[in-house]
Amino acid sequence: MKFVRILTLPLLAAALGVHAQDGVEINHKVILGLHEHALVKEIDHPVEAKLDTGAVSASLSAYDIEMFDKDGKRWVRFRLGASDADDTLYELPLDDTVRIRRRLSDIDPEEDRSYTRRPVVRLTVCIGEREVPMRVNLADRRNFNYPLLVGSEGLRNLRSLIDPEMEFSSGKPRCTVTLANLDDEEEQQQ
């Protein structure tokens, strides 16, 4: 089956007039794997990311999360929840908070709260050659395999398609192409 797939992808690429950038590009969209290496530029730390079309938003593993006021604005401080991260305390402007539905296993029956509020920050995420600013919520994901989850909004802004049979197809982040956030462009046009 792999042999057929190996032959099919180049033939499909040739038929569609595709050229390589981070692998294969179709209509200016790059094909990425289910898991990719990423760089979060504001904290200058590489992380492994899960690219999940079933999720909407992006989420970064963080702990010791605390919102506070600084210079008359709301900020958030946190530590990166990645296995290779040091104990650095990061501080970033708070962009928003988002209400996220809790997983059934996370619901405390005594609280009866099926939603949780998470802080949202703007981060520049780089995967392969492409970097794009995106809204990322902060949550303790230390029990998950991948500290960064990129949902459909982030994938759209990366102009990417996902092939779940591929992993780490874009190599280490190189960040040579800066893309605008499509959601920001749409807000400006309205």
Residue 126 covered by a domain:
yes
- Give the integer Cα–Cα distance in Å for 38 and 48: 6
What confidence score (pLDDT) does residue 188 get? 66
Full residue range of the structural domain in which residue 178 is found: 19-189
pLDDT in tens, 10-32: 444 444 444 444 556 777 899 99
How confident is the model over 133-140, as a mean pLDDT? 96
* Tokens found for residue 170: 């874009």
pLDDT in tens, 153-175: 999 999 999 999 999 999 999 99
Residue 4 covered by a domain:
no
> Considering the entire predicted model, what is its pTM?
0.80
The CATH number for 167's domain is 2.40.70.10
Residue 111 covered by a domain:
yes
Residue 9 covered by a domain:
no
Residue 149 covered by a domain:
yes
Q: For the chain, what is the domain count?
A: 1
Question: Where do we find the tokens 């501080």?
Answer: 91
Residue 1 covered by a domain:
no
Residue 95 covered by a domain:
yes
- Give the integer Cα–Cα distance in Å for 182 and 190: 13
Residue 2 covered by a domain:
no
Question: Where do we find the tokens 């200016």?
Answer: 28
What confidence score (pLDDT) does residue 15 get? 43
pLDDT in tens, 82-133: 999 999 999 999 999 998 776 655 555 555 567 788 999 999 999 999 999 9
- Residues whose CB is less than 8 angstroms from the CB of residue 112 and which lie 6 or more positions away in sequence, other chains included: none
